[in-house]
Structure 1
Amino acid sequence: MDTSKHTLSTLFEQLGMASDKASIDDFIGRHSPLPREIAIQDAPFWSESQSHFLEEGLEDDSDWAEIIDELDAQLRH
């Protein structure tokens, strides 16, 4: 089991996306604000596999859940 602390950078790596700070900031800027009625995993900008990873991470309350919640909060602003 992976017990390392996950960051936005490692989450973006896991999602197969550019994970440097500028790329993450750009992504959040392009996709914010995410409407409250859309769950993060249902946002239209995710691929099917990305959406599934996010949904599974939240449903299972995995070690990814906290950083997924952080991304969710940043996308809401």
Structure 2
Amino acid sequence: MEKPVHHFTELFEQLGLPADEKSIKDFIERHAPLQDTMQLHEAPFWSEAQAAFIVNALDEDADWAEVVDHLDASLRKI
């Protein structure tokens, strides 16, 4: 069975964040770069629910894992 493919905008919607292109770009610019030693879910700008979603998506290799990895990579760019 194939996993559903989620788009970046859907991840932002799932996290309760504005999901239009400008809002996503602004979010990444405002919060990047994350420290190399900090895991994505540990970033101080997440709510408890958002951090839990990220942990769950990665720990269970859920269908959200790929797009969460994309967000992690985007937040680590300088």
Question: Under TM normalisation by the shorter chain, which class is it?
Answer: over 0.9
Shift of 1:71: 0.4
Q: Deviations over 1:6-55 (max 9, x none)?
A: 01100000001100000000000000000110000110000000000000
- Measure how far apart 1:4 and its partner are: 3.4
Alignment-derived partner of residue 50 in structure 1 = 50
Unaligned runs of 5+ in 1: none
Task: Say whether 1:26 aligns with 2:26.
Answer: yes
Partner residue in 2 for 1:64: 64
Moved >6 Å (runs of 4+):
none
Q: How many residues align?
A: 75
SS at match of 1:29: helix
Q: Does 2:38 match 1:7? A: no
- Give the structure-2-normalised TM-score: 0.93
RMSD: 0.8
CA distance in 1, matches of 2:36, 2:48: 20
Deviation at 1:5, TM superposition (A): 1.6
Q: Any gaps of 5 or more consecutive residues in structure 2? A: none
